[in-house]
Structure 1
Amino acid sequence: MSIRTFARLGALPAATAAIALSLATPASAHVTATPSTAAAGSYTVVTFSVGHGCEGSPTTKLEIQVPESVLSVTPSRNPFYDVEKTIEQLDEPVADAHGNEVTERTASIVYTATTPLPDGERDAFELSFQLPDAEGEMLTFPTVQTCQTGETGWVEVPAEGQDADELESPAPAFEIVAAEGGGHGDDAAAEPAADEAETTDDGETTETTEAAADAGDRLAGPRLGRPGGRPARPGRRRSRPRPDALDLVTSAARPVRRHPALPPGGAGSLPHWSRSRSSCSGPRRPRRTPS
Structure 2
Amino acid sequence: MNKSSLRRALSATAIAGGTAALMMAGLAGASAHVSINPDKTTANSYALLTFGVPHGCDTSGTTKLTINLPEELTDARPTVNPNWTVEKVTQTLPEPKKLADGTSITKRTSQIVYTAKAPLDPHLRDALVLSVKLPDTAGKTLYFPTLQNCEQGQTNWAEIPKDGQDAHSLKAPAPSVAVTAADPAAGDSHMAASISTEQAASVTDDGSQARSWAGLIAGVAGLGLGGAAFFRNRSAKASVSK
Shared fold (TM-score, shorter chain, > 0.5): yes
Note closer, same or farther for the CA distance 1:116–1:252 as it changes in structure 2 (3 Å cut). farther
Report the AA paired with residue 148 of structure 2.
Q
Task: State the Cα distance separating 1:219 from its structure 2 match.
Answer: 9.3
Q: Match of 2:122, SS?
A: coil
Give the Cα separation in 1 of the matches to 2:201 and 2:185: 28
**Residues 1:245 and 2:238 aligned together:** no
Note closer, same or farther for the CA distance 1:68–1:218 as it changes in structure 2 (3 Å cut). same
Q: Answer yes or no: is the 8 Å Cα contact 2:30–2:168 preserved in 1.
A: no
Q: Would you identify which runs of 4 or more consecutive aligned residues in structure 1 move more than 3 Å? A: 24-28, 206-211, 215-221, 257-260
Q: Answer yes or no: is the 8 Å Cα contact 1:27–1:52 preserved in 2.
A: no
**Residues 1:81 and 2:84 aligned together:** yes
The percentage of counterpart residues that share the same residue type is 38
Task: State the Cα distance separating 1:66 from its structure 2 match.
Answer: 0.3
- Aligned counterpart in structure 2 of residue 212 of structure 1, from 202, 205, 224: 205
Give the Cα separation in 1 of the matches to 2:227 and 2:76: 71
Q: Answer yes or no: is the 8 Å Cα contact 1:27–1:55 preserved in 2.
A: no
- Aligned twin of 2:43: 40
Q: What is the 5 A alignment of 1:208-287?
A: 211-217=204-210, 244-256=221-233, 257-258=235-236, 264=241
Task: State the Cα distance separating 1:247 from its structure 2 match.
Answer: 2.9
Q: Match of 2:241, SS?
A: coil
Higher share in helix: 2
Task: State the Cα distance separating 1:146 from its structure 2 match.
Answer: 1.0
Give the Cα separation in 2 of the matches to 1:75 and 1:258: 85
Note closer, same or farther for the CA distance 1:210–1:30 as it changes in structure 2 (3 Å cut). closer
Report the AA paired with residue 128 of structure 1.
S
- Aligned counterpart in structure 2 of residue 146 of structure 1, from 149, 167, 178: 149
Report the AA paired with residue 210 of structure 2.
D
- Aligned counterpart in structure 2 of residue 103 of structure 1, from 96, 103, 106: 106
Task: State the Cα distance separating 1:263 from its structure 2 match.
Answer: 6.0
Q: What is the 5 A alignment of 1:46-195?
A: 46-181=49-184
**Count, aligned residues:** 209
Give the Cα separation in 2 of the matches to 1:52 and 1:27: 12
Q: Which runs of 5+ in 2 are unaligned?
A: 1-23
Give the Cα separation in 2 of the matches to 1:251 and 1:120: 93
Task: State the Cα distance separating 1:108 from its structure 2 match.
Answer: 0.3
Which string of whole-angstrom CA distances, capped at 9 and with x for unpartnered residues, describes residues 7-65 of structure 1? xxxxxxxxxxxxxx99x958960000122222222221111111111112111111100
Which string of whole-angstrom CA distances, capped at 9 and with x for unpartnered residues, describes residues 158-208 of structure 1? 22211111111111012222223499xx9xx88xx79xx8xxxxxxxx996
- Aligned twin of 2:11: none
Q: Answer yes or no: is the 8 Å Cα contact 1:26–1:51 preserved in 2.
A: no
Task: State the Cα distance separating 1:149 from its structure 2 match.
Answer: 1.6
Give the Cα separation in 2 of the matches to 1:50 and 1:215: 58
Q: Answer yes or no: is the 8 Å Cα contact 2:92–2:107 preserved in 1.
A: yes
Q: Match of 1:244, SS?
A: helix
Task: State the Cα distance separating 1:78 from its structure 2 match.
Answer: 0.8
Give the Cα separation in 2 of the matches to 1:168 and 1:263: 114
Report the AA paired with residue 52 of structure 1.
H
Q: Match of 1:115, SS?
A: strand
Which string of whole-angstrom CA distances, capped at 9 and with x for unpartnered residues, describes residues 122-150 of structure 1? 11111111111232211110001111121
Task: State the Cα distance separating 1:258 from its structure 2 match.
Answer: 3.9
Higher share in strand: 2
Query: What is the TM-score normalised by the length of structure 2?
Result: 0.72
Give the Cα separation in 1 of the matches to 2:183 and 2:98: 23
Q: Answer yes or no: is the 8 Å Cα contact 1:43–1:130 preserved in 2.
A: yes
